[in-house]
Structures are given as structure tokens and as C-alpha cells.
A and B are shown apart, each in its own frame.
Chain A
Amino acid sequence: AQSVTQPDIHITVSEGASLELRCNYSYGATPYLFWYVQSPGQGLQLLLKYFSGDTLVQGIKGFEAEFKRSQSSFNLRKPSVHWSDAAEYFCATFTGGGNKLTFGTGTQLKVEL
């Protein structure tokens, strides 16, 4: 079954610094991949998604992600982090056909001012 792994549980960056959150997937064919963000006390919001085509995907709030088949990765990036980006970030993929979304364990981002 398809799955995703987020190797970093916590990451701390300074405001204005660049950010990269890692996500590795396990699936033979081209997977459907997503990044969601959860701000404190909120539900999950979709940042971006990859289905096919251009491997560099632009999302909301200045985020982007790059699909790299050779590395089985779909890392999330932002060139300059804002304090409001502090949140938990989840990578996700479809499993078992249909519409079932499987999530990674999440990466908690802390932004130092």
C-alpha cells in the first residue's frame, strides 16, 4: 500500500530563513501527493497537490513542492518563512484506490523571531 514518511518531527527556523520539509513516499507508479497545514486549534488546509505533469508545484501562502521520482520525495519548500507559518505540516497520499487519504506523522514547525 502507498504510504508517506515525514522523517522530521520538529523543525525550528528563524523568521526570514528558507524552509524545507521532507516527505518520502513508497509507491511504484506515480502517486497522488498532497501537503496540508494545520494551524493551532484549526482543521487541515490544503497547501498544494501533485497528480502529474510539472514536477514543481506551486501552492498557497508562497509554498512550493518538488516531486522527485528518483528520490521518492515530495519536499515542501518556502524561500522566506513568516512567523505565521508556525504550524504542523502533513504530507499525504492516496491508498487503496478511491478517495482514501493516508497521512504522514506530521512535522511541527516552530518559527523563531
Chain B
Amino acid sequence: AQTVTQSQPEMSVQEAETVTLSCTYDTSESDYYLFWYKQPPSRQMILVIRQEAYKQQNATENRFSVNFQKAAKSFSLKISDSQLGDAAMYFCATFPASGTYKYIFGTGTRLKVLA
């Protein structure tokens, strides 16, 4: 069975600073996808970044980047130049490339951005 672990229930970062949210996962799949979603107080689930496991290059989207360590099954999210609007719950998720067709989510990390 696939599992996703986010060991930091809550993190804080000063505005304009950098923060890293950790995520580890366990899967027996050889091919899969990894995602970070953001859920602000509005409740909307917003895709932040996506990584294909077969790609060695870390995905980047503007101020958001990942550190994907496939052997260690680690998929951390780095947010640079943090902004007040980054405050939200962040969920890590895995998705197999075949078979069960469903996301497995972690328990989330609440990020607070301090002005």
C-alpha cells in the first residue's frame, strides 16, 4: 500500500525568507507522479507543482521548487521569497502511473507566513 508522510504539522516562515516542507512516501510502483497542493483558507485545492518520478530533474514553478530524491523516497517543497499569500495547508500526494488511479495524500503541513 502506498503511504505519504508529512512529518511537520505546522511551519512558520518570515516574509521574504525561504522555507522547506518535507514529504516522504512509500510505494511499490516503479512509475508514479508526485504533487504538492496548496489549500488556503478559502478551501480551494490548488496545484502547486508536479513531478514525474522517471524524471531526474527537479520540477520548478516560479518561487516553488522540489527536491526529489527517488532512492530516499523524499519529495520536499521549497518556497523562496515567501509571501503572505503563501500561508495555507500544503498537501503532498502520490499517484501511480497505472492501476489504482487515485491520489494518496499526506496529512498536510500548515504554513504560516509572518510579516
A and B: real partners? no
Q: Could you tell me which B residues sit within 8 Å of A by CB distance?
A: none
